[in-house]
């Protein structure tokens, strides 16, 4: 996992500008990643190499059931940021399309039970110290819905977790910055259990405090697509974050490419696969998985037992 902390700015207002240009950060990196990804797909290298770097199928294989990748990602995020408080007085609000996501959380980890995690519904006005927002944010309406949930349901000093497709497009830079004004601390994380060969990120906002800015944002038309007067320091730090996480992503893509050159060397590929199994076993040992709720894959279970000795 890689993670990066962004600066927070204590301001009561946001200056929107009627400009069409992008912020132009990380553009060379984006071009290089997209070009290389296209090369892998065009040469049919992508699917073959993915087997030796993608942890998610092995995680589900270990517990012999189909668990959402989002569940694993949140457990990993918690392991770094300590966002989940395990008592019934510190409830979590899950904004998700499916009730089953809560059942998966309760079944797979000791961090949640039926009393401390709740599915969002619009008539709920309770305050929560943690909001897990598991919906896409691609339009102004999507972001407006999130802001209204924060306004109504986020407790002061509470935390928020969202997922974005990247941290370099204009829309997502706007989202990251506007939310950063509402919270004291911002962390960007790229989990090992997720799609680490793609550009998606988890953004963790900690210590909610600035309630007054939300209405100012919501009153602005199409605010997600406008240029904002974002401090250069913030953009530079975000660019630095993209460089670090982009390097991790490129390493994954280069490894996928490399695997295709060993198709006639099964011993080499078998070594890569064993390393991935060991990485998966280590992940399971370190991320609050309930071990008595599932019928395990014996091979990975033996690896975990060896790690514990």
pLDDT in tens, 33-75: 999 999 999 999 999 999 999 999 999 988 788 899 999 999 9
Q: Coil, strand or helix: which one is 145?
A: helix
The model's confidence at residue 297, banded by pLDDT at 50, 70 and 90, is low
The crossing angle, in degrees rounded to 10, of helices 56-63 and 266-286 is 70
Phi, psi of 142 (to 5 degrees): -60, -45
How much is the pLDDT for 308?
47
The model's confidence at residue 291, banded by pLDDT at 50, 70 and 90, is low
How much is the pLDDT for 98?
87
Cβ burial 9-21 (10 Å sphere, 16+ → b, else e): eeeeebebeeeee
Q: In the block, which residue shows the tokens 């007085």?
A: 89
* Top-ranked range on mean pLDDT: pick from 79-93, 131-145, 293-307: 131-145
The model's confidence at residue 97, banded by pLDDT at 50, 70 and 90, is confident
| Contact indicator for 66, 98 with CB cutoff of 8 Å | no
How much is the pLDDT for 301?
60
CA-nearest of 76, 94, 95, 78 to 86 is 78
Residues 6+ positions from 247 with CB-CB distance below 8 Å: none
The predicted model scores a pTM of 0.91
3-state helix/strand/coil string of 288-307: CECCCCCCCCHHHHHHHHHH
| Contact indicator for 177, 228 with CB cutoff of 8 Å | yes
Catalogue all structural domains in the chain, each as residue range(s) with its CATH number.
2-308 (3.40.50.12760)
List, in sequence order, every residue forming a beta bridge with 160; answer none if it has no partner: 131, 205
Instruction: Give the single-character DSSP code of 220.
Output: S
The crossing angle, in degrees rounded to 10, of helices 232-259 and 170-180 is 130
| Residue 90 in this model has a pLDDT that exceeds 90 | no
Helix (H) or strand (E) holding 156, with range, is strand 154-164
User: What sections of the chain are H helices per DSSP?
Assistant: 27-42, 46-50, 56-63, 69-81, 100-108, 140-153, 170-180, 213-218, 232-259, 266-286, 298-308
Tokens of 35: 């070009």
Q: What is the mean pLDDT of the chain?
A: 89
Tokens of 284: 């399971």
Average pLDDT over residues 153-180: 95
| Beta pairing class for 128-133 and 154-164 | parallel
Q: Coil, strand or helix: which one is 160?
A: strand
């Amino acid at each position: 996992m890689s993670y990066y902390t962004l600066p927070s700015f204590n301001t009561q207002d946001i200056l929107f500008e009627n400009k069409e240009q992008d912020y132009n950060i990380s553009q060379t990196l984006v071009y290089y990643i997209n070009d290389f990804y296209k090369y892998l797909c065009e040469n049919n290298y992508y699917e073959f190499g993915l087997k030796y770097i993608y942890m998610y199928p092995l995680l589900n294989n270990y517990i012999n059931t189909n668990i959402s990748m989002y569940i694993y990602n949140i457990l990993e995020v918690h392991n770094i940021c300590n966002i989940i408080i395990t008592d019934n007085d510190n409830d979590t609000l899950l904004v998700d399309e499916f009730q089953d996501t809560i059942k998966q959380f309760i079944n797979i980890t000791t961090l949640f039970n039926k009393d401390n995690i709740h599915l969002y519904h619009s008539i709920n006005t309770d305050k929560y110290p943690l909001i897990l927002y598991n919906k896409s944010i691609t339009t102004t309406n999507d972001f407006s819905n999130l802001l209204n949930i924060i306004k109504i349901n986020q407790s002061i000093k509470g935390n928020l977790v969202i997922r974005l497709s990247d941290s370099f497009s204009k829309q997502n830079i706007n989202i990251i910055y506007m939310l950063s004004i509402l919270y004291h601390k911002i962390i960007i994380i790229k989990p090992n259990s997720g799609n680490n060969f793609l550009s998606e990120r988890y953004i963790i906002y900690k210590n909610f405090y600035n309630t007054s800015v939300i209405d100012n944002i919501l009153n602005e038309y199409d605010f997600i697509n406008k240029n904002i007067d974002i401090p250069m320091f913030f953009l530079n730090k975000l660019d630095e974050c993209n460089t670090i996480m982009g390097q991790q992503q490129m390493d994954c893509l280069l490894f996928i490419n490399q695997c295709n050159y060993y198709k006639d060397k099964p011993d080499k590929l078998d070594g890569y696969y064993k390393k991935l199994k060991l990485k998966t076993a280590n992940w399971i040992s370190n991320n609050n998985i309930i071990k008595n709720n599932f019928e395990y894959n014996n091979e990975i279970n033996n690896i975990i037992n060896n790690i514990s000795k």
